[in-house]
A and B are shown apart, each in its own frame.
Chain A
Amino acid sequence: MPHYMLSVHSVEGQAREPMTEEEMRRSHQLLSTVEEEMKESGMWVFSGRLHEADTATVVRTAGRQTVTTDGPFTESKDHLGGFYVIRADDLDAALALAAKVTAAIDTPIEVRPFAATSEE
């Protein structure tokens, strides 16, 4: 079955109303319902939430030296905040799941197929 990565993007300093405690609880509730559903249906493979982009470090080679720099690889307002790796029948099934996640947490989700998986 094809695998997809649903990457959750967080936009820095996005002008949004801060969530009330009640809204935050509701959002968590919705998200855990979706995640349970993912696991029960066998679509869930792996998921993770990342710390803020300013905790990132980039390692690269310059000549023979290894250079380590503080901060994310691209300086942008939009960073990967977390991801789900799922298996789904087709793009529609993956998009339907992404729609549920975005409805719960209100951030854009990028859906992208894996080039190949060990199961294929």
Chain B
Amino acid sequence: MIEESRDAIGRIFRQEYGRSLAMLIGLFGDIDVAEDAVQEAYALALDKWPTDGLPPNPGGWITTTARNRAIDRLRRRTRERYLLGEAALLAGDGPPQEGGDMSDDRLKLIFTCCHPALAAETQVALTLRLLGGLSTEQVARSFLVAEPAMAQRLVRAKRKIKAARIPYRTPAVHELPDRLPPVLAVIYLIYTTGHSGPEEPGLCGEAIRLARLLAALMPDEPEVSGLLALLLLIESRRAARTRPDGSLAVLGEQDRDRWDRGLIEEGHAIVRRCLARDRPGPYQLQAAINAVHADAAAAADTDWSQIVALYDHLYALTPTPVVALNRAIAIGEAHGPATALALIDRLEAELGQYYPFHAARADLLRRLNRYSEAAAAYQRAAALAPPGAERDFLHHGGRTPRP
């Protein structure tokens, strides 16, 4: 019973962490002070809630408690007395307000974490830690690095933010072309980290929340809308990706009745608005591709020629080997596996260590009845894939193991 409520408190904490932290950084202008205070509030919640029950607004409770703890602590530190005056002025006596200003704080924190003065991998790690509420250990695990190394990287990044005064603010419009792409990339990475790791499903929700926030605050940036639509459309299929026995169901085999219609409709509406604006970018195009999949009542009804056309456009904008691979897979559906295999084989040098490359080859070889080559490709893909349902699927030669 106690364990259960500890889990529930952990979940609430991860959901509220970024919001509370961003708010406190906004008040005190110091990441370390804010982090310590939010951690203290969490420890207090773990202590009180299992016996007293949840407060009516757990998120508000965490923020208010953390704010009071931080003020207590600063009061003890004369050196930071000037901060206290500022904080007391801003905080007032009432509970923190829901909505507007707090959302804006989180947006500022995203832009701080994704500042170009920080290395790309640090941007993602810091966003996961500060906004996603993941522990250092969890962040380290999702990057496959040792915890002390990750801790050091995070400490160094926070020190640089403080020493170099990386500002805590939303960039001006003229700065956005430079500052927005890493923010979008980080939100997308947070989503995909949650999507591929079964232990962090909360990350998907957090990524979507961040994308919604960004889209609401930047309605004139079509790529922001594009990213939101993309995430909603991928998310609409999440339940159908797993069969009742926990194994993976690939797109073509999914039970489409389990797709979330509400998310699909919302995603579709955004894609239509993007099309009307006619300023396509990579996220919008990927969203449009996913919208075409969502349109098909059955896998056989998928309009593959439209998907190929969208991939052509995407490849023209971002000519990466991964886009070339996905384009080739779509061509395989529209024009047959032999055409696709010829295209894919050209990507070997660049994608030889990328498991989806071998998985796609395996599938095409199987459809061409070249079974022994297909089996070898499945094993190659399984050896490179991270542990999880997808690797099990590949390990069983692209078939779901039956009990």
Summarize A's interface: helix, strand, loop or mixed.
Answer: mixed
The reply to whether B167 and A113 form a contact with Cβ atoms under 8 Å apart is no
Closest to A95 in B: B117
- The answer, yes or no, to whether B166 is at the interface (CB within 8 Å) is yes
| 8 A Cβ contacts from B101-133 to A | 115, 117
Mark contacts of A84-120 with chain B using CB atoms, 8 A cut-off: 1 yes-contact digit, 0 otherwise.
Answer: 0000011110010000000000000001110100000
The reply to whether A90 and B117 form a contact with Cβ atoms under 8 Å apart is no
CB neighbours (8 Å) of A90 from chain B are 165-167
How far is B87's CA from A108's CA once the two chains are assembled, in angstroms?
A: 40
Closest to B115 in A: A91
CB neighbours (8 Å) of A111 from chain B are 164
- The answer, yes or no, to whether B89 is at the interface (CB within 8 Å) is no
The one of A89, A92, A95, A113 that contacts B163, using a Cβ cutoff of 8 Å: A113
The reply to whether A113 and B117 form a contact with Cβ atoms under 8 Å apart is no
How far is B171's CA from A95's CA once the two chains are assembled, in angstroms?
A: 13
B288 to chain A, nearest CB (A): 34
Mark contacts of B14-52 with chain A using CB atoms, 8 A cut-off: 1 yes-contact digit, 0 otherwise.
Answer: 000000000000000000000000000000000000000
A72 to chain B, nearest CB (A): 26
The listed residue with most B CB atoms (<10 A of its CB), out of A2, A90, A91, A95, is A91
The reply to whether A2 and B165 form a contact with Cβ atoms under 8 Å apart is yes
How far is B167's CA from A112's CA once the two chains are assembled, in angstroms?
A: 15
Closest to B162 in A: A113
CB neighbours (8 Å) of A91 from chain B are 115, 117, 164-167
CB neighbours (8 Å) of A89 from chain B are 165, 167
Q: On chain A, which size bracket covers the interface? A: 10 to 19
The one of B115, B165, B171, B175 that contacts A113, using a Cβ cutoff of 8 Å: B165
List 24 A-B pairs, Cβ < 8 Å.
A2-B165, A4-B164, A89-B165, A89-B167, A90-B165, A90-B166, A90-B167, A91-B115, A91-B117, A91-B164, A91-B165, A91-B166, A91-B167, A92-B166, A92-B167, A92-B171, A92-B175, A95-B117, A111-B164, A112-B164, A113-B163, A113-B164, A113-B165, A115-B163
CB neighbours (8 Å) of A113 from chain B are 163-165
| 8 A Cβ contacts from B168-219 to A | 171, 175
Chain A residues within CB distance 8 Å of chain B: 2, 4, 89-92, 95, 111-113, 115
Closest to A114 in B: B163
**Known pairs A89-B167, A91-B166 / 17 extra A-B pairs, C-beta < 8 Å:** A2-B165, A4-B164, A90-B166, A90-B167, A91-B115, A91-B164, A91-B165, A91-B167, A92-B166, A92-B167, A92-B171, A95-B117, A111-B164, A112-B164, A113-B163, A113-B164, A113-B165
A109 to chain B, nearest CB (A): 13
B241 to chain A, nearest CB (A): 41
CB neighbours (8 Å) of B165 from chain A are 2, 89-91, 113
Q: Which 4 A-B pairs have the closest CB atoms?
A: A90-B167, A90-B165, A113-B164, A91-B164
How far is B115's CA from A90's CA once the two chains are assembled, in angstroms?
A: 12
CB neighbours (8 Å) of B171 from chain A are 92
CB neighbours (8 Å) of A2 from chain B are 165
A23 to chain B, nearest CB (A): 26
How far is B175's CA from A56's CA once the two chains are assembled, in angstroms?
A: 40
How far is B175's CA from A90's CA once the two chains are assembled, in angstroms?
A: 15
CB neighbours (8 Å) of B175 from chain A are 92
How far is B162's CA from A115's CA once the two chains are assembled, in angstroms?
A: 11
How far is B117's CA from A92's CA once the two chains are assembled, in angstroms?
A: 9
Closest to A96 in B: B175
CB neighbours (8 Å) of B115 from chain A are 91
How far is B311's CA from A60's CA once the two chains are assembled, in angstroms?
A: 63
The listed residue with most A CB atoms (<10 A of its CB), out of B165, B166, B167, is B165
A22 to chain B, nearest CB (A): 30
